[in-house]
């Protein structure tokens, strides 16, 4: 099976796309529980990607993504009982990831 490899910058761009799309899709919707399913699945995809990279040892030395994974898991549970906090979580996650990308670019 062919193996595909992408660098850290590509990983962060892809995660940013998933998380910011989740925020934009939900904030543009009518904020009803059914409207949050696409956002829920996009965040779930980000969680699966980070979890896979972590479980295969590819995130060693990247404490930010390990913490971000835990934040995503916690935030995803908000969808079930606190929609306002869920949308706030999506916006905060987007901003925090953007800050981390800027910090890494500056290094």
Burial status of residue 43 (CB atoms within 10 A of its CB: 0-12, 13-18, 19 or more): buried
The reported pTM is 0.84
Please name which of 75, 70, 80, 69 lies closest in space to residue 46, comparing C-alpha atoms.
69
Which of 19, 5, 8 lies closest to 107 in space, CA to CA?
8
Contact (Cβ atoms closer than 8 angstroms) between residue 100 and residue 62: no
Residues 42-100: tens digit of each pLDDT = 999 999 999 999 888 888 878 999 999 999 999 988 888 888 898 899 999 999 999 99
User: For residues 35 and 19, what is the distance between their CA atoms, to the nearest angstrom?
Assistant: 16
Domain ranges of the chain: 8-106
């Amino acid at each position: 099976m062919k193996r595909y490899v992408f660098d850290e910058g590509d990983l962060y761009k892809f995660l940013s796309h998933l998380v910011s799309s989740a925020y934009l899709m939900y904030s543009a919707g009518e904020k009803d529980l059914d409207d949050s399913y696409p956002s829920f699945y996009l965040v779930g995809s980000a969680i699966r990607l980070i979890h896979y990279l972590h479980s295969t040892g590819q995130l060693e030395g990247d404490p930010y993504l390990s913490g971000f994974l835990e934040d995503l898991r916690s935030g995803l549970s908000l969808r079930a009982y606190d929609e306002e906090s869920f949308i706030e979580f999506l916006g905060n996650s987007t901003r925090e990831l953007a800050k981390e990308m800027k910090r890494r670019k500056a290094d």
